[in-house]
Amino acid sequence: MDKVYVIGFMGTGKTAIGRKLSERYDVDELDERFVQEYGQSIADFFAAHGEAGFRARESELLRNSQSQVVITGGGIIERPENRTWMKETGTVIWIDTPFDSIWRRIESDRNRPLVGKYETVKSLYMRRRSVYADSANLRLEGMKSIRELTAEIESVLEEKS
Ligand SMILES: Nc1ncnc2c1ncn2[C@@H]1O[C@H](COP(=O)(O)OP(=O)(O)O)[C@@H](O)[C@H]1O
Ligand SMILES: O=C(O)C1=C[C@@H](OP(=O)(O)O)[C@@H](O)[C@H](O)C1
Ligand SMILES: [Mg+2]
């Protein structure tokens, strides 16, 4: 398999980039598929089943994805088996954005159940950052625009085709 996986912390633009890529490529946005399949928002699902319940289903969606481009949720790298799966089945692209820019984008978004206090989210970011780095084949500079980031991912897709 020769997929492209897009990873990165919440608010790095994965979903927005996925929407643009879907104009030209077959894209699976795992969080959107989650909501379709389970008929509940991610926030409501977390409240009812906890993070562990979400992670189990998220991992299943990752494994079953048939699309060329897979847009992940920020926590996909929490499970080591997901990191291994992505590396073995495709190219993993990490969008690396400084925390303070991310925070401005996500702080008032109530759809992300893991967004709480600044310090708590920042420590999640600090813990995950090296995990994204270890999981990825390619790092993109996240301060670029959505359009530029999309174009960079498109050039990886073109190279692979
Ligand atoms: N590189 C960027 N430049 C400008 N705005 C961005 C960028 N990345 C994300 N955003 C904005 O931040 C918000 C969250 O983006 P989203 O695509 O939902 O991120 P993710 O899926 O990685 O959590 C959206 O309003 C999006 O337009
Ligand atoms: O980082 C995380 O653990 C999560 C990120 C979210 O996706 P985005 O990265 O698209 O915000 C979503 O999957 C869920 O709220 C959990
Ligand atoms: Mg998203």
Q: Which CATH number goes with the domain that contains 56?
A: 3.40.50.300
The verdict on the CB of residue 16 being under 6 Å from ligand 1 is yes
pLDDT tens digits, one per residue of 136-159:
999 999 999 999 999 999 999 999
Residue 47 class from Cβ within 10 Å (0-12 exposed, 13-18 middle, 19+ buried)? exposed
Dist. CA 14 → ligand 3 center (Å): 5
ipTM associated with this complex: 0.99
CA-to-CA separations, 50 to 46, 54, 55, in angstroms, rounded: 4, 7, 9
- If you average pLDDT over every residue of the chain, what do you get? 97
Ligand 1 atom nearest 16 alpha carbon: 17
| Residue ranges making up the domain that contains 80 | 3-160
Of the pLDDT bands very low, low, confident and very high (cuts 50, 70, 90), residue 1 is: low
Tokens 């996909």 label which residue? 76
Over residues 6-24, mean pLDDT: 98
Number of domains in the chain: 1
pTM over 0.95: yes
Q: How many CA atoms lie within 13 A of 3 on its CB side?
A: 25
Tokens standing for 154? Answer: 């498109």
